[in-house]
Amino acid sequence: MKKILEKNYKIVIALILGFMAIVSFLNAANDSLIYDEDAHIPAGYSYLTRHDIRLNPEHPPLLKDLSALPLLFIKPNFDITQDFWTKDNADDSQWNAGKNFLFRSSNDPDAIIFLSRLPIILLSLLLGIFIFKWTRELAGITAGIFALVLYAFDPNILGHNHFVTTDLGIAAFITFALYYFLRFIKEPIGKNIFLAGLFLGLVQLVKFSSVLLFPVFGLLIIVYPLVKLHREKSKFKVLAGYIWKGLAIFGISVIVVWIGYFANAYAMPQTKLVEIMDHYMKPDDPRPLTVHTREVIISINKYPAFAPLADYVFGVARVFQRVGGGNITYFIGEISNKGFLSYFPVVFILKEPLPTLFFLFFAVSIGLFGIISASFSEPKKILRNLIHYLRVNIAEFAMLTFIFVYSATSITGRLNIGLRHLLPIFPFIYILIAVSVFRFIRRRHNQSKHIFNLAALALVTFLIVETVSAYPYYMSYFNQSAGGPKNGYRIVTDSNADWGQDLKRLEAFLKDHPEIEKIKVDYFGMTDLDYYLSNRYEKWWSAKRPIEPGWYAISALFLQEGIYDQTKKDDASYRWLKNRRPDYQVGTSILVYHITPQEIR
């Protein structure tokens, strides 16, 4: 079996990625515009055609540029005489731009949305190839295919790899950046220095959370030269050389960032950045952090040559400001904007497929058992064993370090808006699981090796069947312990369950139910209701009164916030629906109720 698999591994990879591509294209066509795409899609098109980044500056431009490339072939209308470009404040402009560009400019919104999603899908396929490639280098072809299966059949990947957001993109580029930095670490020659600097710059142009790579890279630059075997030079001379080369990598990355921002923003007036900053960081804000941040950005922005870097620094500052401010979150019957320490661990356990969780638990157990055994059997050689481990397994150490740094930052942060924020660690989890499991199996005797291979095959089969059967509800996927995709919203909402993805399914639902002449809609999303529902809806919200008999379609996020937000009074909430089961569930995120006159009484 193994020999056949390795002989035909290219066909196997093509089949796996083929499944991933077909499912992703179908979801790209069938899922409605999600909340964040309303800002990202017009922003990217404005960057390429207007070279002005006034829209959505809190995210770097690279992924938005890539998503906008297909739009250059259809040349949709983008009217910069509208208020979103000339008058609206920085926050309103990005959302109003999407509404205008997609639904009010005689463009075809479905075509624009679908085409914009294609580059993200292609990037996800490239990441799959890269995960196979890296795992193959560490543990062989079979392990590489195994890691690819964990990736390609993860519903959370399939749920986000067709949206114009930064989540899949940052996962891909962090993987690329760490891979090429490790090539530099192992062989610090000119070519590897350049590639490491190039990808470090590119990842900073994808998402600002990539700054978390800097402490990991700094640690690697210090640790590896000290554990590396050297015959001629002293360790400290080698360390000094690594530090200088590391600074060269950082310098190259700064140049890449400058080029990226210059290409996207050279037509934007320098005063526009100050105007945007004044909206988010008020000039009269007395807090020292705000004052000093404004001073730094303004001082950099004064010089035209450094203006692109001022745009970048503002974006980084804006992200830290948003993380510190938190986001309103529904989580297990509570509403808060202060964040929950248990949020990401619980959501991870509930949204990852059970076979993947079992493999992860098994891999962690193997690692912990090895550490404990070595500590007790050879306590005097702990340091020597650690040095040997770092020397031989520096790639695994780097992945584990990044997972720890990124996870700790996410868990202690206040921005609890979805498991998608953990996607940057997912590729490393797949690779480390594959390496650990296959090294373990390889060391077994023939009989036990056969048993473990069968167990792994059974779990992989379970994973594939589970993922295929969950189609098309991948973004809102929850495993069996949470009740599946249809029930996950009871535990947590936002981009875990409800991001506005089901409005086109509500349109289809109404076509199938002509008895519903008009439905009251409370929709969480930025899609234009008039475009899809025409005159068959009436806007509704939790505080609207009086409650009337008729049909209601309520987004899961608004329903849960309307029930559990204790700041809302009973007569301005959805508590009247707390114990009422929906009559229909459209997709997974829109709950439909038929309220009779008897129920009103």
Point out the domain boundary residue: 300, 325, 350.
325
What Cα–Cα distance (Å) separates residue 182 from each residue in 21, 267, 421, 513, 553?
A: 30, 37, 24, 58, 51
Residue 530 domain flag? yes
Cα(496)–Cα(343) distance, integer angstroms: 12
Say yes or no to pLDDT of 231 above 70.
Answer: no
Residue 588 domain flag? yes
Cα(271)–Cα(52) distance, integer angstroms: 12
Q: Which residue has the higher pLDDT, 339 or 121?
A: 121
Distance of CA 55 to the CA centre of its chain: 20
Cα(139)–Cα(515) distance, integer angstroms: 60
Q: Which residue has the higher pLDDT, 447 or 389?
A: 389
Residue 57 domain flag? no
Q: pLDDT tens for residues 477-493? A: 999 999 999 999 999 99
Q: First and final CA of the chain: distance in angstroms?
A: 67
Q: pLDDT tens for residues 176-197? A: 999 999 999 999 999 999 999 9
Cα(281)–Cα(291) distance, integer angstroms: 9
Torsion of CA 266, 267, 271, 273, to 10 degrees: -60
Over residues 57-85, mean pLDDT: 96
DSSP states of 233-289 as a string? S-HHHHHHHHHHHHHHHHHHHHHHHHHHHHHHHTTS-HHHHHHHHHHHS-TT---HH
Residue 348 domain flag? no
- The continuous run of DSSP H or E covering 368 comes out as helix 354-377
| Three-class SS of 474-536 | CCCCCCHHHCCCCCHHHCECHHHCCCCCCHHHHHHHHHHCCCCCCEEEECCCCCCHHHHHCCC
Contact 572, 542 (CB under 8 A): yes
DSSP states of 395-452 as a string? HHHHHHHHHHHHHHHHHHSS--S-GGGGGGGHHHHHHHHHHHHHHHHHTS-HHHHHHH
Residue 283 domain flag? yes
Q: pLDDT tens for residues 310-326? A: 999 999 998 888 777 67
Whether cis (ω within 30° of 0) applies to the bond prior to 427 is no
Under the banding of pLDDT at 50, 70 and 90, the label for residue 90 is: confident
* DSSP-derived secondary structure letter, 183: H
Cα(597)–Cα(77) distance, integer angstroms: 47
Point out the domain boundary residue: 325, 344, 369.
325
Under the banding of pLDDT at 50, 70 and 90, the label for residue 288 is: confident
Residue 318: predicted pLDDT:
86
Beta bridge partners, 492, equal: 331
Structure tokens at 252: 């190259």
Q: What are phi and psi of 160, to 5 degrees?
A: -125, -5
In this structure, the number of other CB atoms found within 10 A of the CB of residue 226 comes to: 15
Structure tokens at 477: 């996927």
Q: What angle do CA 329, 315, 476 make, to 5 degrees?
A: 35
Cα(599)–Cα(601) distance, integer angstroms: 5
Structure tokens at 216: 């990991």
Structure tokens at 94: 């990005």
Contact 125, 17 (CB under 8 A): yes
**Residue (of 502, 410, 487) closest to 35 by Cα position:** 502
Residue 327: predicted pLDDT:
82
Contact 267, 50 (CB under 8 A): yes
Cα(521)–Cα(498) distance, integer angstroms: 15
Structure tokens at 212: 């978390």
| Residue the block writes with tokens 């899908």 | 121
Q: pLDDT tens for residues 555-580? A: 999 999 999 999 999 999 999 999 99
Contact 494, 417 (CB under 8 A): yes
Under the banding of pLDDT at 50, 70 and 90, the label for residue 112 is: very high
Structure tokens at 28: 């790209």
In single-letter form, the type of residue at position 575 comes to R
Q: What are the residues whose beta carbons fall under 8 Å from the beta carbon of 157, sequence distance 6 or more? A: 124, 151, 168, 423, 426
Residue 298 domain flag? yes
- The continuous run of DSSP H or E covering 590 comes out as strand 590-595
Chain mean pLDDT for the chain = 93
Q: pLDDT tens for residues 241-277? A: 999 999 999 999 999 999 999 999 999 998 999 999 9
Distance of CA 385 to the CA centre of its chain: 36
Calculate Rg over the CA atoms of the chain: 26
Residue 380: predicted pLDDT:
67
Structure tokens at 476: 């809102």
Point out the domain boundary residue: 325, 348, 367.
325
Q: How many domains does the chain have?
A: 2
Residue 188 domain flag? no
Residue 218 domain flag? no
Residue 278's domain spans which residues? 269-325
Q: Which residue has the higher pLDDT, 521 or 5?
A: 521
Say yes or no to pLDDT of 586 above 80.
Answer: yes
Diameter over CA atoms, the chain: 90
Say yes or no to pLDDT of 376 above 80.
Answer: no
Say yes or no to pLDDT of 230 above 80.
Answer: no
Q: What angle do CA 47, 51, 52 make, to 5 degrees?
A: 80
Within 378-393, residue ranges assigned H as helices are 382-392
**pTM, two decimal places:** 0.95
Beta bridge partners, 329, equal: 336
- Comparing 301-305, 458-462, 467-471, which segment has the lowest mean pLDDT? 301-305
